[in-house]
Structure 1
Amino acid sequence: MRLLKLQQYLTMHHALLISEPANIRYLCGFTGSAGSLLLTKEAIFLITDYRYTATATEECTGQPLHIICRDRANESLAECIGRLTITSKTLFIEPNHLTIALFQELTDTLTQFNILNIPNWLAEMRACKDETELAATRQAVQIAEQALAWWLPQVQPGMTEASLATLLEEKLFALGAEALSFPTILLSGPRSALPHGKPSKRQLQRGDFLLLDFGAVVAGYRSDITRTYFIGEASERQRAFYQAVLQAQQAALAVAGPGVSGHAVNAAAQQVLQASGFGEYAGEGIGHGTGLVLHEYPLMREGCEVALQPGMVVTIEPGLYQDDFGGVRIEDDILITSSGIEILTKSPKELTILCA
C-alpha cells in the first residue's frame, strides 16, 4: 500500500500534509478537487468536505485512513488539523502546492508544529511505475498513436493550425481518452520554432514545417508524443535540420538505460546537435518523467545526476528551433527496464512529406 510505504518514512515526531491533487490520487485514489491528506506515524486522515465525502468513501475503499468532513464555512483546514489527536512536533508540507494564504494560515494556527518542506519522498515513489500504471500509460500511448494514424491523411494545405488541432483532439476523445495530456501544440511554418506555441488561424502552406506535440490521458496517466512533418516539399536545409534532430534522438536512446544519469542522456543528444552546425538553435534538456502529471521527476537536463531506474517512464525529445525559419522536435515515451529501454511510442520517425 502506497500510504503505508510513505508512512514508513515518518518517525513518531513527524506529520505530513499532502495537498497536491495528483499526489493524493496516487496515494489513496481520491479524485475530488477539495482534499488534503494528513499522515502521522500512527494514523492517516483524508480531510475533505460534504461535497466529496461520498466520493472519498467510494474511491478510498480498503485504504487505511479516516475520512474527516470539514465544515468549510466555519472551520479552516488548519483548525481542522488542530482538533485532531496528533503528537508530532514537525509538520512537513508541499511548498509548491500551497498558496501563500494557506501557508500563513498553517503557520499562524498550528504553532505547536515546526513546519518544514517535505523531502523528495513522493517524487521518488511516483517515478517508478507499477504494472497498473504502466498498463494505463500503454493505453494512453495506443490511443494517441491510433488518433495520429487516422489524422495524418486528413492534413491538407489551406487548413488552419487550430482546425487541425481540434480534429485530432476530437479523435482522441472518440478513441477513449478521458482528457488531453495538455493543450495540443500544433505549429506550422516559422511558427514551429515556438517550442510550446498555441495553434493559430495560420493556414498550412506548401514547404511548411508541421510540428505536432500531443497526448492522451487514461486513468490519470499521460502519453506525450511529438512528430514533425513537411507539407508538400522540404528544402535541403529543412531536411538537414530534421536529420540532425533524429540523429540526436537516436544517440540519446542508445545511451539511456538503468543507472544512466539524465545529464548523460542529454549530453549524448547535445553532442550530435552541436556537431551538426545547428547547435545554436538546440533546445534545453532532453526530456522528463511522465505520469499523473505531464512533467514528473526526473527532469533530464544538464546537471541532472538522477540515475534512471527500471519502471521509470520518461520522454526523449531533442529539438532545434530557429526564429523565422522553423523548428523540429521528435519525442518518444520510453520505459526504463532492468536491461535497457522499451520505446513505447511506435509512430514512424523517418522524414515524412505530407500532401506530396
Structure 2
Amino acid sequence: MKNEFIAPSRGFERSEFEQRTGKLQQQMAVQGIDAVFFSTEHEFRYFSGFASQFWQSPTRPWFLVIPAKGQPIAVVPGIGAAGFDDTWIDDVRTWPSPRPEDDGVSLLADTLAEVSKQTRCIGAMLGPETHLRMPIANYQTLQASLNQHDMVDVSEIVRKLRSIKSVAEVDKIRFVCDVTAAGFDFLLENLHAGMTERQACKAMHLEMLRLGADACPYLISASGQGGYDNIIMGPTDRRLDQGDLLIIDTGANFDGYFSDFDRNFAFGDVDRATHDAYEAVYASTEAGLDIAAPGRSTGDVWKAMWSVLEAAGSLGNDVGRMGHGLGMQLTEWPSNVQGGDVILQPGMVLTLEPGMTFAPGKVMVHEENILITEKGCEMLHKRAWEKLPIITR
C-alpha cells in the first residue's frame, strides 16, 4: 500500500536512561548540587521512562528525585505505582492522592532531605520556558520544610542535555516527520475549493493517524485571499475559495516525540506577489540549510535566513524567531533569533521557520525539520514543493 511506514521500536533501552541520568549527575557534581527534583511530564519521562495519560489531569502531582549518585526516586500518587514496573526505577514512594492538605509535599521534602545532606543544594526547573507543576503554596511549603537547603535553577543544564538527541530519539522524530510529510502529500491530492479549513485539517489528521502517528495535538491553519495574517488561531469553518492561500502547520506525535512543519497551498489564480513570497521563504530555508552545521550559532542561522527575506523586500517578521528546537515538546530550546549565541552541535534537532510580511496584512511562513550532523545538517523528511502548489479542483 502506498505511503506505509515501519515504525521504530517504542521506548528506550535501560542504558539510555542510565546515560541520561549519568550526564545530569556529572553536571550536578560540577555545580555542587546534591539532588534535583522534577515535577513536569517531559523531564519526568526523559529520565524515568514513565509515560502516562494521567498527566492530562491536574488533580495529582508527580515528582522525580535524582540524587547525586544512583537511580532516580519516584515520589508519586499510589494510583500510579504499578506503572513503574515497566521502567528502570526501583525506588517508588507513594501517598494516597488526591490529598489537598498534603499532596505529596511532605514525602517529597523527606526524600530530598534524605539525599541532600552534603551541600544541601537542591535543583529544580526554575528558568525560562519551564514551570513547576504544583500549586505555588505547595512549593512554598516545600521551601519552608527545606529551609536549611538552597534551591537552584537547573533548567540550563537540563535543556542542554535534552537538546542533543540520541539515535533512538532521532529515529522516532524521523518517523513522525515522514508520516507528516505523507499527510501533506495526501492533502495535496484531496484538497478542493469549497472545503473548510477544519475539513482540510481533519482529513490530514486522519491520514497521519492511519500512517502511524499516535496523535496530532497541534494542527492549525489560516487562509485568506492571496495571503493570511494570523497563523496561530485556526482551523476555522471558513470555506476555501478561488484566490485563497492556505497554510497548515502541524505537530504530530509518535511515542512522545514531535514533528513540526507547515505547507502552503494556493487555490486557482493568486497574484505574482504571493508566488514571489513563497519562493522567497523557500530560498530563505535553503540558506538556513546551507549554513546550519556544528560550530555555527543560532544567530548565524537567523542571519542567513533573514538576509534572503530582507533582499526579497520583506516588510518585517514579528514572530520573534525563525525556528527552534524540537523533540519531546513541539517547541524546545534553543530558538533561532537575531544575535543568538547557542552553538549548534551534532544531534540537535531544529526547525527552520522563516516568515515574512510581504504585503500589508499578508504573511508567508515556511518550516522544515532538520538534524545537525557531524558535517552539516540533513532534512528529517521530504522537502517542501519548490513552487507554490496550485489547487485547481
Q: Tell me the TM-score normalized by structure 1.
A: 0.93
Give, in whole Å, the separation in 2 of the partners of 1:279 and 1:326. 10
Residue pairs, 1:4-15, within 5 angstroms = 4-11=22-29, 14-15=34-35
Amino acid at match of 2:22: L
Q: Deviations over 1:263-302 (max 9, x none)?
A: 0100111111111112335643221010000111211111
The 8 Å contact of residues 315 and 331 in structure 1, kept in 2 or not, is answered as yes
Amino acid at match of 1:24: F
Post-superposition shift, 1:123?
0.6
Give, in whole Å, the separation in 1 of the partners of 2:265 and 2:293. 28
Residue pairs, 1:1-356, within 5 angstroms = 1=18, 2-11=20-29, 14-32=34-52, 33=55, 34-43=61-70, 44-58=72-86, 60-61=87-88, 63=89, 65-72=90-97, 73=99, 75-84=102-111, 85-86=114-115, 87-88=117-118, 89-95=120-126, 96-98=130-132, 99-180=135-216, 182-189=217-224, 192-281=228-317, 283-321=319-357, 325-351=361-387, 352-355=389-392
Higher mean C-alpha displacement, 230-239 vs 310-319: 230-239
The 8 Å contact of residues 285 and 300 in structure 1, kept in 2 or not, is answered as yes
Give, in whole Å, the separation in 2 of the partners of 1:192 and 1:266. 23
Distance 1:18 1:323, change over 3 A: farther
Q: Deviations over 1:103-153 (max 9, x none)?
A: 212212222211222251111111111111011011101111122212212
What is the DSSP-based 3-state SS (H/G/I as helix, E as strand, rest coil) of the residue aligned with 2:183? Answer: helix
Post-superposition shift, 1:4?
2.5
The 8 Å contact of residues 225 and 345 in structure 1, kept in 2 or not, is answered as no
Post-superposition shift, 1:215?
2.7
What is the DSSP-based 3-state SS (H/G/I as helix, E as strand, rest coil) of the residue aligned with 1:274? Answer: helix
Distance 1:118 1:13, change over 3 A: closer
Q: How many pairs align?
A: 352
What is the DSSP-based 3-state SS (H/G/I as helix, E as strand, rest coil) of the residue aligned with 2:73? Answer: strand
Give, in whole Å, the separation in 2 of the partners of 1:253 and 1:174. 30
Amino acid at match of 1:299: S
Give, in whole Å, the separation in 2 of the partners of 1:13 and 1:280. 44
Higher mean C-alpha displacement, 192-201 vs 34-43: 34-43
Gap regions ≥5 residues in structure 1: none
The 8 Å contact of residues 321 and 328 in structure 1, kept in 2 or not, is answered as yes
What is the DSSP-based 3-state SS (H/G/I as helix, E as strand, rest coil) of the residue aligned with 1:203? Answer: coil
The 8 Å contact of residues 17 and 36 in structure 1, kept in 2 or not, is answered as yes
Give, in whole Å, the separation in 1 of the partners of 2:326 and 2:64. 23
Distance 1:282 1:239, change over 3 A: farther
* Root-mean-square deviation (Å): 2.0
Amino acid at match of 2:37: L
The 8 Å contact of residues 315 and 357 in structure 2, kept in 1 or not, is answered as no
The 8 Å contact of residues 251 and 330 in structure 2, kept in 1 or not, is answered as no
Higher mean C-alpha displacement, 90-99 vs 255-264: 90-99
Same amino acid, percent of matched pairs: 28
The 8 Å contact of residues 78 and 109 in structure 1, kept in 2 or not, is answered as no
What is the DSSP-based 3-state SS (H/G/I as helix, E as strand, rest coil) of the residue aligned with 1:9? Answer: helix
The 8 Å contact of residues 261 and 369 in structure 2, kept in 1 or not, is answered as yes
Q: Deviations over 1:312-338 (max 9, x none)?
A: 110011012367653221111011000
What is the DSSP-based 3-state SS (H/G/I as helix, E as strand, rest coil) of the residue aligned with 1:193? Answer: coil
Give, in whole Å, the separation in 1 of the partners of 2:63 and 2:146. 16
Give, in whole Å, the separation in 1 of the partners of 2:43 and 2:33. 22
Amino acid at match of 1:186: S
The 8 Å contact of residues 267 and 302 in structure 1, kept in 2 or not, is answered as yes
Q: Deviations over 1:29-88 (max 9, x none)?
A: 011334211122245311111111000222x13x4x511112332744331023332314
Give, in whole Å, the separation in 2 of the partners of 1:318 and 1:353. 21
Give, in whole Å, the separation in 1 of the partners of 2:382 and 2:171. 16
What is the DSSP-based 3-state SS (H/G/I as helix, E as strand, rest coil) of the residue aligned with 1:279? Answer: coil
Give, in whole Å, the separation in 1 of the partners of 2:383 and 2:283. 16
Distance 1:336 1:13, change over 3 A: closer
Amino acid at match of 2:147: T
Post-superposition shift, 1:347?
4.0
Amino acid at match of 2:391: L
Q: Deviations over 1:208-264 (max 9, x none)?
A: 111111132111111111111211122111112112211211112111111110001
Gap regions ≥5 residues in structure 2: 1-17, 56-60
- Look up the match of 2:4: none
The 8 Å contact of residues 229 and 353 in structure 1, kept in 2 or not, is answered as yes
Give, in whole Å, the separation in 1 of the partners of 2:103 and 2:348. 38
Post-superposition shift, 1:172?
1.4
